[in-house]
Chain A
Amino acid sequence: DQQVKQNSPSLSVQEGRISILNCDYTNSMFDYFLWYKKYPAEGPTFLISISSIKDKNEDGRFTVFLNKSAKHLSLHIVPSQPGDSAVYFCAASARSKLVFGAGTILRVKS
């Protein structure tokens, strides 16, 4: 069963606009959530995280929002830049091992 779902396989956004990537989860035991970014032929790179005791975490152009009641989190990138084009993975943790979504391909057009 897919405990972490990213329902949009791809997203295309104009440079300068906001990118919103979504993630849903089913396991209420998850207490830590992360977003990773992956370029082709490279390993995933940590982007931003949020603990279940918070509903928002911001780091520069990146903000992650967590809605525990809806079991939903989202990553906002504003303003989007062409260099942000990559695959974005949502991940959730209950103890140590991470459960990943299938990823969303973001393409930022200049």
Chain B
Amino acid sequence: GAGVSQSPSNKVTEKGKDVELRCDPISGHTALYWYRQSLGQGLEFLIYFQGNSAPDKSGLPSDRFSAERTGGSVSTLTIQRTQQEDSAVYLCASSLAGVGRETQYFGPGTRLLVL
């Protein structure tokens, strides 16, 4: 596609429920990243996929968070047993090769509100 797309654009859920957020990267980009932005904060790295390599999960805040990338393209970020502090904008980005000194292109984000 022309750019990174994410769905849903907004999600409201109740505390304790599971949510799935989807990201479609730019066609041909081998690297995919998830970040989140909490209110008044900068973007916080969550997880990074590069080709067929094992993902870098070092930014995931707890074991309630997981992500997968099927077929080297679409990625799903899953949050289990959501908590109110999970409320944030979840942003996905992709880049061509996932090496250093490379621009990451962002999607519009999914705004998650946990009540």
Please, what's the 1-or-0 string for A20-54, where 1 marks a CB less than 8 Å from any CB in chain B? Answer: 00000000000110101000011111100101000
Count of A-B residue pairs with CB < 8 Å:
67
The complex places the Cα of A101 from the Cα of B43 at a distance, in Å, of 7
Contacts of A41 in B (CB 8 A): 108
Evaluate contact between A32 and B108: CB separation under 8 angstroms: no
- For the complex, is A18 an interface residue (Cβ under 8 Å from B)? no
Evaluate contact between B4 and A97: CB separation under 8 angstroms: no
Chain B nearest Cβ from A7, distance in angstroms: 12
Evaluate contact between A100 and B107: CB separation under 8 angstroms: no
Chain B residues in the interface with A (C-beta under 8 A)? 4, 6, 31, 33, 35, 40-45, 48, 50, 56, 59, 91, 93, 95, 98-109
Interchain residue pairs with CB less than 8 A apart (25): A6-B42, A31-B100, A32-B101, A43-B6, A43-B91, A43-B93, A43-B106, A43-B107, A43-B108, A44-B43, A44-B106, A45-B106, A46-B103, A89-B43, A91-B43, A93-B100, A95-B100, A96-B31, A96-B48, A96-B56, A98-B33, A98-B104, A99-B45, A100-B44, A102-B42
